[in-house]
Structure 1
Amino acid sequence: MLKVRIVVGADGSPGATAAVRWAAAEAQLRQAELRVLTAYHRRDPGRHGDDAASAVVHEAVTQARTIAPGVEVRGIALPGYAAPMLLHAAEEAVLLVVGDRRRGSLPGQPLGSVGSQVATHAKASVVVVRGRATDNSGPVVVGVDDGPTAATIIGRAFEEAALRKATLLAVTAKANGHGTPSPAAEALGAELDPQLDPWREKFPMVQCDREYASGRPDKILVQRCQQAQLVVVGPRRHGYEGVMLGAIGSGLLRRAECPVLIAR
């Protein structure tokens, strides 16, 4: 039987350290194994880069085992660029975890954000660990719209809330000032919600609160993240490199005060 696997990138920076600790707790929660990866450049025949990367991995594995002593943890240091290495490793994982890009990038990444690249291109779901990464007392927040991937994102949010025994806050925000229920929801009645009710039936243990707000969706969700333990968004199906997360996902990766899950 194949074990569930979580992959996390490490480089010794504060952001990566927070990501390792979060990933270890998540692996314990999911009863998954954890792989800690770092990348380095071998610029000369010596072993300086290899030794430094090995030290980073050793420290990260020690931290992970301290957080989750019952979890199988393995650390690997590989030469090359961080983003391709993590993307390849994520092909066999249920979750890829990286740290806040503002706190430094992984070794071998020349420019830009490893977090942004893997969030855009990974086949697995990605968590970018930000803000209050150790606060598990707040709700799980999910942005709800009428797009083609809405059901998938809502379902994942319910799963995360159930796993954490947390309340789920489903937020629909519109920048045109009409933050109100859709015509379909209004036609069915105030107590019915065609988007959420099927998931409420599937996850009766999850308390799901619904909010309609007026304002830019990215700003509204950033505000709701101030008290949340996790926010769930989805990638766009169409777009070109650099904007595939859309304004909402990109805004959350820059400003959210809690970990951001890009659900796939």
Structure 2
Amino acid sequence: MARYIMVGVDGSAPATAAVEWAAADARRRRLGLRIVHVCEQRPYGRDTMEYGSRILASAGARARELAGDVEVNTALLSGNVIDILIGESAGADSVVLGCRGLGGFAGMVVGSVGLGVAGHAAEPVVIVRRLPEIQHDRVVVGYDGSGHSEAAMRYAVDQARARGEAS
């Protein structure tokens, strides 16, 4: 898979929204889709690899429903979630994550994994809260002239072109 969008999943509703957003974006931009689940070893956990395999199977099936002829593959990895996702970002066009996962505090706008990955990923990171009920016709980007905002601008222009909103 030469160019692809990577999406991290954990079985949560925001992760499902992230898969749906990433599948639509991959289809629109004619990119592959790589779905990743990272198993962290827990001292009192269930069989995390089996659980992760079920999550990936479900996410992969949903992505294939939505992505058309886009190449979809899945990867079950183990280690520290943030470190693995940052490492995996190096080969991706972009990284898509749900706003928060299964742990932590329900009231948080962005979870610790999203914050950790967004701050250090090699490529743009999209954090998906939920899919909008209404499709908007604009892509909005903050710009302050810095190198980071230049990268954000390039990504925003790519997104707008893929949606037919820029020439």
Instruction: Return the TM-score normalized by structure 2.
Output: 0.83
- Alpha-carbon contact 2:8-2:35 (below 8 Å) kept: yes
Structure 1 residue runs without a partner (length 5+): 107-111, 167-202, 206-264
Report the identity percentage.
Answer: 36
The correspondence of residues 5-154 of structure 1 with structure 2, limited to 5 A, is 5-43=4-42, 48-101=47-100, 103-104=101-102, 113-133=112-132, 135-147=134-146, 149-154=148-153
- Structure 1 position 144, deviation (Å): 3.0
Higher RCO structure, 1 or 2 (CA under 8 Å, sep 6+): 2
SS at match of 2:34: strand
- Alpha-carbon contact 2:11-2:102 (below 8 Å) kept: no
With over 3 angstroms needed to count, the CA separation of the structure-2 counterparts of 1:148 and 1:53, relative to structure 1, is closer
Instruction: Return the TM-score normalized by structure 1.
Output: 0.54
Superimposed CA distance per residue, residues 49-101 of structure 1 (whole angstroms, 9 cap, x where no aligned partner): 11111000000000000111311111111222211111111111111111012
Report which of the two structures shows the higher radius of gyration computed on alpha carbons: 1
Distance 2:75 2:147 in 1: 38
- Alpha-carbon contact 1:34-1:71 (below 8 Å) kept: yes
- Structure 1 position 38, deviation (Å): 0.7
- Structure 1 position 6, deviation (Å): 1.0
- Structure 1 position 159, deviation (Å): 2.5
Distance 1:134 1:8 in 2: 21
When structure 1 is superposed on structure 2, of 71-80 and 60-69 the one drifting more is: 71-80
When structure 1 is superposed on structure 2, of 80-89 and 13-22 the one drifting more is: 80-89
- Structure 1 position 152, deviation (Å): 4.1
With over 3 angstroms needed to count, the CA separation of the structure-2 counterparts of 1:19 and 1:105, relative to structure 1, is farther
- Alpha-carbon contact 1:93-1:124 (below 8 Å) kept: yes
With over 3 angstroms needed to count, the CA separation of the structure-2 counterparts of 1:142 and 1:43, relative to structure 1, is closer
Superimposed CA distance per residue, residues 2-40 of structure 1 (whole angstroms, 9 cap, x where no aligned partner): 621111001110010000111111111111111111112
With over 3 angstroms needed to count, the CA separation of the structure-2 counterparts of 1:50 and 1:98, relative to structure 1, is same
Which residue identity is paired with 2:90?
Answer: E
SS at match of 1:37: strand
With over 3 angstroms needed to count, the CA separation of the structure-2 counterparts of 1:85 and 1:151, relative to structure 1, is closer
Distance 1:41 1:20 in 2: 21
Q: How many residues align?
A: 160
- Alpha-carbon contact 2:22-2:33 (below 8 Å) kept: yes
